[in-house]
Structure 1
Amino acid sequence: MHYFTIPPPPELKPYVRFYWVLEHELGEGTPSYIYRSVADACTELVFHYRSSFNELNGKDEQSPSLSGIQFQTTQYRRFITTESFGIFGAYIYPSAVPYFFNIRSNQTSNQAFDFDTFLNRSGVELEEQIMLAADNFKRAEILSSFLIARLHKDGLKDERMAIAVRDVIHGDRYQSVVELADTYNLSVRQFDRKFKEYAGFNPKTYMRLVRLQAALKQYNSNKSLTQIALECGYYDQSHFIHDVKAFTGYHPGFYFSGKAEGTEYRNV
């Protein structure tokens, strides 16, 4: 399995965290591969440029999963393929959704669309260009040009809330919504409403998602689950277990064991 990231150009850094690539060759004895996407505080644009996946529902029934956009989500999903694959993606801040697509983030949470449905003709053309690109660095150039062009359009903009979202993602100094609201000189009620428009979820839920992602980054740290829970800001072990189970579908003991679906790329 091959996984790597590509940084966005400077003008997109406030909006795009990074581009990513995941490629895998299925060999003898491995007729299929199942990937589990977990709850995430960010939005992803996903392009299948080599083969495709089907989504598995609770009864393991399959439905086609096309290239498209998965907005910030509190849910996990499962996908299966029987072919070697290549995926190119963009990992973007949810606060960038209003800038790129002129829609508030809280109107998109827990939703996913194929590019044709969400972006109409421009989405179809973008997908074709990504599919035909010579390599993944060219794909990053194509998508960067597309996103930069969309920034030039008039749209919803609140720089203060966009900064607040990035601050929560990259900082670890805030332990409560009250602290966050005070930092931005707003009442808790005002901050809650404005933050949700650009993060997709209220601050409390969003901080839980960010805390989860911080914990999952400790996958290969050789730290105990108790250490991970404490370092990532969980009040106690029970809160840690509850969130990991709710957002990944697994008990943390199993998720961090190396046996869980969709964790293989973390070993690369």
Structure 2
Amino acid sequence: MKMERHLPADILKPFVEHYLFIESEQGMENRVLPDTSVVMSFRYRGTISDEVAGIKNNLPGTVITGLRKSVRLINYLAQAATLLVIFKPGGAAPFFKEPLHEIFGVSLALDDLIGRQKVAEIEEQLNEVNDSFQRIAIVERFLLSRLYHAKADSLIQQTIRQIRMGKGMVRIKDLVSTLPISHDPFEKRFRKITGTSPKQFSSIVRLRNLIENYNPTVDLTEAALSAGYFDQAHFIKDFRTFTGQTPYEFFRSTIYW
């Protein structure tokens, strides 16, 4: 397996976190946990499939994947290769007219949003080059041609920062009380831009923070309490949905993103 990360051009930095190349010589499986980033993928070689809730599907060449609340398995056959665009939280919205919550929990062929002809042009160009930087240049030209809004929504970005600073343990009601907007319009705006509700977004942040900062010397029950879980059964249920495993199984064996 070969993985390369690249940063976006300056004009795209407010929206794109990084690009990630994944190339598999002999085939592999990645366990992908829920995250707060919408991801766009451009497969330029081989076959890639995913598995969600036990259902396997071969993925189209160019895919956009929305936020989700459950684990996803990505299977790369031998010689498969793809370029991923990892958007910042809320960063994909300026490139699409459609509200992003409509793709929550799914991986959708990009054709369904922008038309087959344009996607076919990008796929053909990517297949004709053999250099990572050339592929990034092709994708960046495509992204710039789709940039409908030059700036991210400052109010939603502010709330995203507050949720992340609070490690997902933020009362949405309290958060909205500090904003110049009422709850229902805020919720609708947040869902449209980030791809999910403030509550679900906070839940993803909370569990990822717990996993990324897990210390095996700390009792798991104590770690769950520190993350704001006061019901162990609720914590284990959420964790299994999120990772596909119990906390014990996950921290003993899993490799994840």
Q: Same fold per TM (> 0.5)?
A: yes
Q: Return 5+ residue gaps in structure 2 as ranges.
A: none
| 1:103–1:156 Cα contact (<8 Å) kept | no
Structure 1 counterpart of 2:245, one-letter code = Y
1:162-241 matches, cutoff 5 A: 162-169=157-164, 172=167, 175-218=170-213, 222=216, 224=218, 225-226=220-221, 228-229=223-224, 232-235=227-230, 237-241=232-236
Report the counterpart of residue 30 of structure 2 in structure 1: 35
**What do the CA deviations read for 1:31-72 (whole angstroms, capped 9, x no partner)?**
x53333332322101122231123346566x43222311111
**Number of aligned pairs?**
254
Report the counterpart of residue 136 of structure 1 in structure 2: 132
Structure 1 counterpart of 2:128, one-letter code = L
Q: Distance in 2 between matches of 1:205 and 1:59?
A: 23
Q: Distance in 2 between matches of 1:223 and 1:139?
A: 44
| 1:107 maps to which of 102, 107, 119 | 102
1:77-88 matches, cutoff 5 A: 77-88=72-83
Report the counterpart of residue 126 of structure 1 in structure 2: 122
Deviation at 1:19, TM superposition (A): 1.3
Q: Distance in 2 between matches of 1:74 and 1:247?
A: 6
Q: Distance in 2 between matches of 1:96 and 1:155?
A: 11
Q: Distance in 1 between matches of 2:97 and 2:152?
A: 9
**What do the CA deviations read for 1:115-149 (whole angstroms, capped 9, x no partner)?**
33332221222222233333223322222222122
Deviation at 1:171, TM superposition (A): 5.6
Are residue 19 (structure 1) and residue 34 (structure 2) matched? no
Q: 1:64 and 1:174, CA in 2 relative to 1: closer, same or farther beyond 3 A? A: closer
| 1:102–1:155 Cα contact (<8 Å) kept | no
Greater CA drift, 6-15 or 225-234: 225-234
Report the counterpart of residue 29 of structure 1 in structure 2: none
Q: 1:58 and 1:238, CA in 2 relative to 1: closer, same or farther beyond 3 A? A: closer
Are residue 51 (structure 1) and residue 34 (structure 2) matched? no
Q: Distance in 2 between matches of 1:156 and 1:12?
A: 10
| 1:49–1:86 Cα contact (<8 Å) kept | yes
Q: Return 5+ residue gaps in structure 1 as ranges.
A: 27-31
| 1:45–1:89 Cα contact (<8 Å) kept | yes
Q: 1:189 and 1:114, CA in 2 relative to 1: closer, same or farther beyond 3 A? A: closer
Q: 1:240 and 1:131, CA in 2 relative to 1: closer, same or farther beyond 3 A? A: farther
Q: Distance in 2 between matches of 1:169 and 1:247?
A: 18
- Normalization by structure 1: what TM-score? 0.79
Q: Distance in 2 between matches of 1:246 and 1:58?
A: 10
Report the counterpart of residue 149 of structure 1 in structure 2: 145
Greater CA drift, 157-166 or 240-249: 157-166
Greater CA drift, 224-233 or 122-131: 224-233
Deviation at 1:257, TM superposition (A): 1.8
Are residue 64 (structure 1) and residue 76 (structure 2) matched? no
Deviation at 1:90, TM superposition (A): 0.9
Overall identity of the aligned pairs, in %: 25
| 1:104–1:156 Cα contact (<8 Å) kept | no
| 1:94–1:105 Cα contact (<8 Å) kept | no
